[in-house]
A and B are shown apart, each in its own frame.
Chain A
Amino acid sequence: MAPPSGYALRAEAVTRDFGPVRALDALSLEVPKGIVFGFLGPNGAGKTTAIRVFLGLIEPTSGRAEVLGLDTRRDGGAIRVRCGALLEHPGLYERLSAQDNLDFYGRAWHVPKGTRADRIRELLTRFGLWDRRDDPVGNWSRGMKQKLAVARAVLHRPDLVFLDEPTSGLDPVATAGLREDLATLAAQEGVTVFLTTHNLNEAERLCGQVGVISRGRLLAVGSPDELRARQDSGRVNITVRGLTSDVVALLRSMPGVTAVTVDEGHLSLALPSGASVAPIVALLVQHDVAVEEVRRARATLEDAFLELMGAERSTNGGGL
């Protein structure tokens, strides 16, 4: 049984080598229970290797990892009992129907017969696949297969589910649909989700916390807001009416204002990170400029990610 800790997953200096290649380099990570955790990184960053280690499929070369309080080296079987996974490929039996695919894994996870049938119906209905339940899945679109694979991963109500790039290769419509389904699923089932992706928009929308990995090393971890905050540019956009060149000159002369640009009633100012906007708004109002909207320009998760990748590349002196 898991100790009463608040973590679904903990890794302490986990390193995994494949011959001369270091796939994971002293990875230390804590994933709280009940959240959607996004593991972000470019191709070959070590995301899939990390999942394999956490599922007890491969052993770390050094370091240790605990999943649901269980040691991944010693208790791989017990970990897999309580986890679900959608790995690199959907892993569906294409000659079998959707219902048979789920039935097989339900049996494998010892889901009782009566509960199994209800659960399969519930999941196939939720993902909009119930009407196609008897079709061999080989004839299905990739989006439908991914949905079925997600359904399979949560069929036995796991405590933790690993989703390895679940929207990879899907068109934008299918991606948005699956993302919505994942968000609903995580909220309704209360399951901890460990999601690897290089779709930053997806991570920003779904994840409570994200970790950024590159070349097997964890570069940053925190909430999307925290990561974005690191990239806070201090830029402020103000929509105004009645702006004159005199006022613009006054703004440029204000202490801390490093740049001012004007474009058809849209004023953009560069301020030091965290600087207050109040003196600027006060100056505008004082000179009879109508202020319609004040908005801090927020860095996106993509900005933060690219910054981290750039920093890592310059540190290591190589391309990604």
Chain B
Amino acid sequence: MVWKEWREFRDQLLSLRRGGLSALILALILGVVAPVQLGPEWVESKLIIAYWPFLAATMVSSLIADSVAGERERHTLETLLASRLADSAILLGKIIAAVLYGLGFAVANLVIGLVAVNVAHGNGGLILFGARQLIATVAFTILASLLMAGIGVFISLRASTVKQAQQAFGIAIIVLTLGPLLLFNALEYETRNRVIARLSGLGEVRIYAYVTAALTIASIIVIGGALARFKRGKLVLD
């Protein structure tokens, strides 16, 4: 399944249509222009740790809505379901392929960015990430991609067309990203300050651990839900 998904991504990229060209432009801007403009801050900022998970999740989101709804719309789903592939192999294959795509894009962006920032601002020395920051970045990137892929597949399973899946997915992303911010802003000024103070007091490692746990639990719930929902008998009649 992963092999087939990658073949389709590859052929899409090679044809420079749809996501292919925009992905290349995005890679160039994010991989070269941003690091050169930001300089050492591109590596040293505490906030940059959220950048690669966000980037990978965005790349995953560009593909995953198509995963099941696209097969349904292009009339390939029933043939796939009539094959010997297990339900879990089909679903997890699609998730893994999308996660690898997002992760690959983020890692390539990170490497290109490091080269660019060192060439532009290295001044004879090496600008690198700290080990803790690098480990957290990779872990968050994988988990954020998994979560996004799980949400995307879950929505795609329920949608009858790719357009419908993309619309629902877009709304889900807005709710998931803006929702917590709006909730936080809705808190009283003093409560917000207490939360900020509490978080600041936790320390870097503990915050990383909490974020990892939250992303892992959310991913397990969403992917588990998608696996439970993936039923041949139902899908073949949708």
Name A residues whose Cβ lies closer than 8 Å to a Cβ of B: 18, 52, 55, 57-59, 76-77, 80-81, 83, 85-96, 100, 104-105, 107-110, 136, 149, 152
* Chain A residues, CB < 8 A from B85: 108
Contact between chains at B84 and A58 (CB < 8 Å):
no
Q: Give the contact-size bracket for chain B.
A: 20 to 34
Contact between chains at B78 and A89 (CB < 8 Å):
yes
Closest Cβ neighbor of B4 among chain A residues: A104
With contacts A57-B81, A76-B232, A108-B84 taken as known, whether A93 is within 8 angstroms of B4 at the C-beta atoms is yes
Which residues 138-162 of B have a CB within 8 angstroms of A?
none
List 23 contacting pairs A-B, 8 Å CB cutoff, sorted by A: A57-B78, A77-B86, A80-B83, A86-B79, A87-B82, A88-B78, A91-B79, A91-B80, A92-B76, A93-B74, A93-B76, A95-B11, A95-B12, A96-B11, A104-B3, A104-B4, A105-B83, A108-B1, A108-B85, A109-B83, A109-B84, A136-B11, A149-B79
Contact between chains at A95 and B236 (CB < 8 Å):
no
> Least Cβ distance of A149 to chain B in Å?
8
Contact between chains at A55 and B82 (CB < 8 Å):
yes
> Whole-angstrom distance between the alpha carbons of A59 and B233 in the complex?
7
Number of A-B contacts (CB under 8 A): 70
> Least Cβ distance of B176 to chain A in Å?
30
Q: Cβ of B206 < 8 Å from any Cβ of A?
A: no
* Chain A residues, CB < 8 A from B84: 77, 80-81, 108-110
* Chain B residues, CB < 8 A from A83: 82
> Least Cβ distance of B79 to chain A in Å?
3
Contact between chains at B74 and A94 (CB < 8 Å):
yes
Q: Cβ of B132 < 8 Å from any Cβ of A?
A: no
* Chain A residues, CB < 8 A from B1: 108
> Least Cβ distance of A108 to chain B in Å?
5
> Whole-angstrom distance between the alpha carbons of A18 and B233 in the complex?
12
| 14 extra interface residue pairs, beta carbon distance < 8 Å, beyond A83-B82, A88-B78 | A57-B81, A58-B233, A77-B86, A80-B82, A85-B79, A86-B79, A87-B78, A90-B75, A93-B4, A93-B74, A96-B11, A104-B7, A108-B84, A109-B84
